Chains A and B, each alone.
Chain A
């Protein structure tokens, strides 16, 4: 197919690896929207993009790093956060954005998430939560709602999903928000705030996976979007304990945590290389 020049330009072109398009995401998938919100936020935040890095794990969402025209690292399943931690601590000048999926960040990588939040590593973590493992064909995730159908819970999910903002809050994150891809403007603003925040920031994005999750739960792509509109309420500063995922009761969106604390690097410098000690002894000899 031949496209004319007008059709091929897009405001985000400079941030995209155009030579890698078409992307792998299915029609109706929400990852693309979450991804463009992330790119717009990076651009609008005014940060030095040359010093900005995207790190992803493995999954459909984890393919984000492959499409952004910045230094970008597509790592192993679950390990985007510790990889990003090493990168940030080795060069604190870098802005490090982790873009990955719910399975990647909260099942196989869950331990890393809570520890990076506890240490307040200055990272921005954007999690595309599509309630399942999209890439491997729709298996149950640590975020799959109770009784939802997936290929590995053929009778419905017997388990309770994680409340991700609560986990982030309890672990010490300094910025926590949740939106859906339908709330693209709020989402973009949140990601921008998260990027500008010095500290561990977490943005959860609820996102449809029509091919695997939607289909098995008899949810057409449009139904999912309707749910995102009708079954959500925006309640900034809601207490994180109220944020469990239950579509029958309704889902709370908004910004829940926004505070300032010394980062991992700040604390390391203050504790392990206090200035006075270094200066004094340096002069002594």
Chain B
């Protein structure tokens, strides 16, 4: 029997590292449905959860999987599911339920090329806008993009911590390449891993309002069976959790669920800069495409092109301020992503005409070769 935290040096895929990261973060429920290239996450965690006192269930479809995850989280257990494009599409309605009911949960999308069944075994980064806007209505969501198995391990822990801190669904936007690549992963000792659990209510049960925000905008969360007699609904509700069908209640609730993210951007947004100090061209990338971009930046520098890389670890919420500030000083932006322009348009929006924005994209199925990036760096400016 293995412990929850597999301390040591391993050689593992991004998918397996994701499962191990989840266990290290305290995940004890996984509701899943098989789909390439995310299946290995379910397979790994199906074997591991029972030995650490958790529960795995393969549900009848992805809608059931995400619903079971939200239910398990409401019962007080850190919960997760993992899927790819077609399953991600099926989960959308209930991701909105988790956002509206402020239920922490982690959803992994190991992206493959779409639309529809697309290229099931080949990578892409084309669900990025769906991650942001896939469920109906306005809401805020957090999405992280890991760029290696080691990073997947850490980002999965961070996803749980953010989801528990802010009581919302957090998405891990991996991709087939990161999911399937095998690399060295170092898992530290359990006591050095920082894990966070949702804020819990104290005090008088009869006066408790389940959606009354605390100081950072997040309400303490009562779980089923604690005796708070809470009501939780996907209808627009007040701080008591009761449905209220008014324009005012809608505005109040939306301010609350959006404010949790917009007021805490400093904590949520993480980026990484490489050779940006004197950069004249900012390459923007995330996930697997970061690796392409790193190689391209180095090569460009050798050719005398002053390029730097801004890697988005947190993709949503989008680091708008950083891009705006960069737009004041760089000659332009080049966004590298395996799709036909998703984050690119965000960069362009934030650059607001102050610096031109170019896309190095690809419809999916393979990584972007560094040469394509260099070509754009050479010709566009």
Contact = CB atoms under 8 A, between A and B. Distances in A.
Question: Are A and B interaction partners?
Answer: yes
Interface of A: 17, 19-20, 50-51, 53, 55, 65-66, 69-76, 78-79, 82-91, 93-94, 111-112, 115, 268, 272-273, 277-278, 281-282
Given A74-B233, A75-B234, A86-B31, A94 B224 contact: yes
Interface stretch (B61-69, B139-147, B273-281): B61-69
B22 to A, nearest CB: 15
A112 B224 contact: no
Contact of B1 (A55, A83, A91, A282): A282
Given A66-B233, A83-B71, A90 B29 contact: yes
Contacts of A79: 63-64, 67, 94
A10 to B, nearest CB: 17
Contact of B231 (A17, A51, A86): A17
Contacts of B328: none
B231 A74 contact: yes
B232 A72 contact: yes
Interface in B124-160: none
B240 to A, nearest CB: 8
A89 B67 contact: no
Contact of B70 (A72, A86, A115): A86
B1 A278 contact: yes
B67 A82 contact: yes
B75 A90 contact: yes
A70 B51 CA distance: 33
A119 B233 CA distance: 27
Given A76-B67, A76-B97, A83-B68, A91 B77 contact: yes
B51 A82 contact: no
Interface of B: 1, 28-29, 31, 50-51, 55-57, 59-61, 63-65, 67-77, 79, 93-94, 97, 222, 224-235, 242-243
Contacts of A78: 63
Contact of B76 (A70, A73, A88, A90): A90
Contacts of A50: 225-227
27 contacts: A50-B225, A50-B226, A51-B225, A66-B231, A66-B233, A71-B226, A73-B232, A74-B233, A74-B235, A75-B71, A75-B97, A78-B63, A82-B71, A83-B71, A85-B59, A86-B29, A86-B67, A89-B55, A90-B29, A91-B224, A94-B75, A94-B225, A268-B50, A268-B55, A273-B50, A277-B1, A281-B1
A189 to B, nearest CB: 26
B326 to A, nearest CB: 40
B167 to A, nearest CB: 15
A74 to B, nearest CB: 4
Contact of B68 (A17, A73, A85, A93): A85
B70 A65 contact: no
A70 B50 contact: no
B224 A87 contact: yes
Given A112-B64, A272-B50, A82 B233 contact: no
The winner among B63, B76, B224, B229 for most chain A CB atoms within 10 A is B224
Contacts of B74: 73, 83, 87
Given A69-B229, A94-B75, A89 B57 contact: yes
Contacts of B70: 75, 83, 86
B64 A84 contact: no
Contacts of A85: 57, 59, 64, 67-68, 71
A162 to B, nearest CB: 18
A89 B228 contact: no
B234 A91 contact: no
Contacts of A115: 59-60, 64
Given A50-B225, A74-B231, A268-B50, A90 B97 contact: no
Contacts of A51: 225
B37 to A, nearest CB: 24
Contacts of B59: 82, 85, 115
